[in-house]
């Protein structure tokens, strides 16, 4: 059952930044088979024309494993209907395609809700064979294609809007995927979200209105989760604020136990408020988010006003925005908050924190060097930066290494060596943040020697860097304001 329904690839020509093979509407054969098994056992499904075809198909087959499936479903039933369905959605994404249904994760990596379904795989193998689900899958193709055509435009618009707001030049890290999975057998108007390492899925069931807001929300997570992981050191300096969220009755436990995830969610909700028309409506959304326990949403909603007025993308703006959080000011704001005890219908689905994208050895060494530099262990940091130069030929990583060595030289009172190393940084292919700060440092070094003309040129060059970080921009502007 290897047929793939990737016929509705998103944004092939409209948005080159979204790789055609990574962002698409699709269907999942394992999920289709699992949902058919649930239907055979009496679970309620969407009332669609295809539902009758499924019932007729299943009735025409002698499914000997049916009673065992019914017993299994009964013994694993959750009190909450959404959680009951969720465990089987998780199972479908954790196994290979039919007919094997082989577990894809190693022990210790299996999603918690799937661990409780021990013994389900052999039942699915038998059901898939006895009910001849391959035949039903083929019958489903026209119905999938009709849903793809209906969803393509709205989904494209949602992803375009998200990328446009974040000023995102790419769809994320290479090798990562974001997919909207159509489930035409599930109960009506359901949305399930999943993130497994680099793979993000949002599962949608038949609905009269397409839930584009949920799709956009999931896509924001896909784009922003890696950034919060990347800048976790900066983010976690504000972690003490999570104590306020612990008192929010309706806030999902996943947010209370993961400050990175809570921060990401708060930023997404703030962005969603900014994308809403009408000042009063925006204020009401932020007020409601805060009442639910999304404690940083008011801060982000205000900070985003400044973000919208400058040119840097969120990839470089985020660390400065997080660093600007005034813990005392936010604590004073949160002291008087009355959290709601009523869970609103619009609450976003909970996300699990995915693992950080794997770094190659040189990037790992570079991160280690940055930590040593931050701890002012300068000799060890310099040794580690030089190790990066031996590990890779990547010019961008070399540029960051020379930039680190240049800063160390300045701190060790060797400005001449520092100047040479900053120039070496610029000769390579530095990213926007490294490029901008290297120009700022060169401007400061020129100011120290009294060469105001040269300093001005470097500050202006820093401001001309596309995507320069807000911090470097501010430093360059301050440098230009100095008296000659």
User: Under 8 Å CB-to-CB from 394, ≥6 apart: which residues?
Assistant: 362
- The answer to whether 144 touches 49, Cβ cutoff 8 Å, is no
The partner residues of 177 in beta bridges, in order of sequence, read: 199
- The phi and psi torsions of 317 (rounded to 5 degrees) equal -85, -30
pLDDT at residue 150 is higher than 50:
yes
pLDDT tens digits, residue range 23-63? Answer: 478 999 999 999 999 999 988 777 888 988 999 999 999 99
Does the structure show a pLDDT above 60 at 8? no
Mean pLDDT across the chain: 86
Going through 15-127 in order, the beta strands assigned E by DSSP cover: 23-27
Name the residue ranges covered by the structural domains of the chain: 8-166+176-200, 231-335, 431-484
What is the per-residue pLDDT for 100? 94
Calculate the alpha carbon distances from 166 to 9, 20, 163, 224, 418 in Å.
Answer: 22, 20, 5, 9, 34
pLDDT exceeds 90 at position 269:
yes
Question: From CA 36, how far away is CA 27, in angstroms rounded?
Answer: 14
CB atoms under 10 Å from CB of 156, counted, come to: 20
Q: Give per-residue pLDDT as tens, 220-250.
A: 999 999 999 989 999 999 999 999 999 999 9
424-472: pLDDT as tens digits: 999 998 888 789 899 999 999 998 898 999 999 999 998 888 766 667 7
Structure tokens at 9: 């690839």
The band of 346, judged by pLDDT with boundaries at 50, 70 and 90, is low
What is the pTM assigned to this prediction? 0.68
- For residue 463, which of 431, 440, 444 has the smallest C-alpha distance? 440
Question: What is residue 196's three-state secondary structure?
Answer: strand
CB contact burial 49-87 (16+ within 10 A = b; e otherwise): ebbeebeebbeebebebbebbeebbeeeeeeeeeeebbb
- State residue 312's pLDDT score: 87
Instruction: Flag the least confident range among 118-122, 346-350, 381-385, 478-482.
Output: 346-350
Q: Of 439, 356, 370, give the one whose Cα is nearest residue 408.
A: 370
Which residues have a Cβ under 8 Å from the Cβ of 360 and sit 6 or more positions away? 392
Cis before 410 (ω within 30):
no
**Under a CB-based contact definition with an 8 Å cutoff, are residues 101 and 125 in contact?**
yes
Of the pLDDT bands very low, low, confident and very high (cuts 50, 70, 90), residue 6 is very low
């Amino acid at each position: 059952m290897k047929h793939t329904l990737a016929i509705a690839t998103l944004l092939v020509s409209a948005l080159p930044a979204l790789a055609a093979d990574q962002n698409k509407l699709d269907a999942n054969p394992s999920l289709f088979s699992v949902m058919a098994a649930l239907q055979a056992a009496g679970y309620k499904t969407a009332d669609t024309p295809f539902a009758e075809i499924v019932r007729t198909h299943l009735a025409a087959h002698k499914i000997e494993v049916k009673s065992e499936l019914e017993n299994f479903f009964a013994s694993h039933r959750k009190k909450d209907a959404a959680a009951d369905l969720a465990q089987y959605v998780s199972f479908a994404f954790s196994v290979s395609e039919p007919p094997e249904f082989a577990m894809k994760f190693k022990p210790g990596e299996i999603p918690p809700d799937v661990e409780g379904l021990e013994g389900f795989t052999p039942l699915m193998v038998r059901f898939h064979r006895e009910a001849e689900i391959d035949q039903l899958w083929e019958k489903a193709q026209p119905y999938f294609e009709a849903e793809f055509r209906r969803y393509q435009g709205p989904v494209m618009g949602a992803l375009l809007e998200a990328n446009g707001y974040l000023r995102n030049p790419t769809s994320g890290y290479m090798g990562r995927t974001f997919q909207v999975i159509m489930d035409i057998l599930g109960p009506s108007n359901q949305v399930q979200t999943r993130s497994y390492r680099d793979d993000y899925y949002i599962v949608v069931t038949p609905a009269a209105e397409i839930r584009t807001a949920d799709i956009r929300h999931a896509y924001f997570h896909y784009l922003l989760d890696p950034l919060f992981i990347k800048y976790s050191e900066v983010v976690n300096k504000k972690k003490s604020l999570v104590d306020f969220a612990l008192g929010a009755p309706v806030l999902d436990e996943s947010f209370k136990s993961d400050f990175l995830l809570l921060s990401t969610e708060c930023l997404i909700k703030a962005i969603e408020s900014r994308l809403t028309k009408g000042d009063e409506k925006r204020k009401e959304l932020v007020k409601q988010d805060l009442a639910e326990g999304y404690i940083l949403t008011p801060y982000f909603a205000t900070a985003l006003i400044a973000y919208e007025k400058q040119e840097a993308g969120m990839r470089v703006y985020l660390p400065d925005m997080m660093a600007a959080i005034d813990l005392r000011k936010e604590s004073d704001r949160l002291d008087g908050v009355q959290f709601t005890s009523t869970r609103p219908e619009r609450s976003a689905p909970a996300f699990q924190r995915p693992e950080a994208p794997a770094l190659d050895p040189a990037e790992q060494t570079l991160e280690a060097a940055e930590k040593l530099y931050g701890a002012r262990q300068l000799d060890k940091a310099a040794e580690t930066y030089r190790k990066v130069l031996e590990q890779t030929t990547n010019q961008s990583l070399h540029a960051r290494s020379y930039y680190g060595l240049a800063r160390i030289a300045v701190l060790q009172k060797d400005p001449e060596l520092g100047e040479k190393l900053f120039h070496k940084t610029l000769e390579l292919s530095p990213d926007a943040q490294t490029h901008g700060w290297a120009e700022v440092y060169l401007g400061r070094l020129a100011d120290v020697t009294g060469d105001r003309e040269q300093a001005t040129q470097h500050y202006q060059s820093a401001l001309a860097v596309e995507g320069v970080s807000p911090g470097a921009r501010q430093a360059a502007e301050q440098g230009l304001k100095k008296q000659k």
